[in-house]
Structure 1
Amino acid sequence: MHGIGTSLKWAVLAIALVGVAGCETRYRNHGYVPSEEVLQQIVPGVDTRATVEDVVGVPNASGVLNDSGFYYIQSEVKHFAWQRPTVTEREIVAITFDQAGVVDNIVTYGLEDGRVVPLTKRVTQTSDGDISFIRKLFGNIGGINLGDMLGG
């Protein structure tokens, strides 16, 4: 009888340890954003779509407005126990092109308090359509709804 009680205690302890291990917070990175060193190799007004693909790589997404740009997206997602995964960090590098296919602008966006924020810009001109597309990327990838986060 003494052996069964000890085995039962060990079994309960093992189940409790498995339950606690399931509550561990895990972070996963999804996507790819080129480093600043790689982006420095791209020259606005000189490089083309082909040279960007050669230097930076194939983009995660491309612009829907007249094939306006390449978008490289990286997200960090927090997974905790039974809770829905949440995006804790997101960065987007947008490389836009003019109508001739030459690099027009390179901008890095981040997610600050649920708002799309430009972190760096290589050229100052922007387009409302491109910003709208970036907002859609932040709002749709990973299930984040920026309106809910902003309380509106």
Structure 2
Amino acid sequence: MRTIGTVLKVGVVAVALMGVTGCAAKYRTHGYLPPEEDLQQITPGVDSRATVEDVIGVPNATGVLDNSGYYYIESEVRSFAWQRPKVTDRHIVAITFDEAGVVDNIVTYGLEDGRVVPLTRRVTKTSDGDIGFVRKLFGNIGGINLGDVLGST
């Protein structure tokens, strides 16, 4: 009898430990941020795009309109239980280039330097949004012409 009680206690403790560890916050790092030593190797006014890619690597993002810069982004995201994941830290290294493709400037930004940009989802509404499924299904029954189906003119 004593063995069943011991096994039951161990089982309860194991379930409690799994419950506690399941509620622990999880941190994940996304992206790539070049080390400071690698950034020191790049000289503004001397190095080009190819040199930057050789020393640091291919960027996470580039300038959209005129390919004016390379952006290396690293974010730390905290996930906890049922809550929505939250970005707790973000660093961005922006390397800008002049018209000739030579490094113009290297700037590092943090999460405190940015501002939140709300992303909106634009959905085109259709005119049949108020029509129910059954009406859509049977809506064309009266519009079928037997002559069109049989191919006679």
Identify whether the pair has TM-score above 0.5, normalized to the shorter chain: yes
Q: Using the alignment, how far apart are the partners of 1:77 and 1:53 within structure 2?
A: 27
Q: Using the alignment, how far apart are the partners of 1:4 and 1:68 within structure 2?
A: 71
Matches for 1:3-152 after TM superposition, within 5 Å: 3-112=3-112, 115-116=113-114, 139=117, 145=118
Letter in 2 for 1:36: E
1:2 shift after superposition: 5.4
Count the aligned residue pairs: 119
Which sits farther off after the overlay, 94-103 or 34-43?
A: 34-43
Which sits farther off after the overlay, 52-61 or 33-42?
A: 33-42
1:63 shift after superposition: 0.9
SS of aligned partner of 1:8: helix
Q: Using the alignment, how far apart are the partners of 1:55 and 1:32 within structure 2?
A: 14
1:6 shift after superposition: 4.1
Q: Which has the higher strand share?
A: 1
Q: Using the alignment, how far apart are the partners of 1:31 and 1:47 within structure 2?
A: 24
Q: Using the alignment, how far apart are the partners of 2:39 and 2:9 within structure 1?
A: 58
Instruction: Indicate how the Cα distance of structure 1 residues 2 and 40 shifts in structure 2: closer, same or farther if over 3 A, else same.
Output: closer
Q: Identical aligned pairs, as a percentage?
A: 71
Q: Using the alignment, how far apart are the partners of 2:23 and 2:111 within structure 1?
A: 26
Which sits farther off after the overlay, 6-15 or 75-84?
A: 6-15
1:4 shift after superposition: 4.2
Per-residue CA deviation, residues 83-120 of structure 1 (Å, 9 max, x unaligned), is 222111000000011121111111111111xx41xxxx
Q: Using the alignment, how far apart are the partners of 2:44 and 2:26 within structure 1?
A: 39
1:71 shift after superposition: 0.3
SS of aligned partner of 1:37: helix
| TM-score for both structures, normalised by structure 1 | 0.69
Q: Using the alignment, how far apart are the partners of 1:21 and 1:65 within structure 2?
A: 47
Letter in 2 for 1:103: V
Q: Using the alignment, how far apart are the partners of 1:107 and 1:40 within structure 2?
A: 12
| TM-score for both structures, normalised by structure 2 | 0.68
1:25 shift after superposition: 2.0
Letter in 1 for 2:62: S
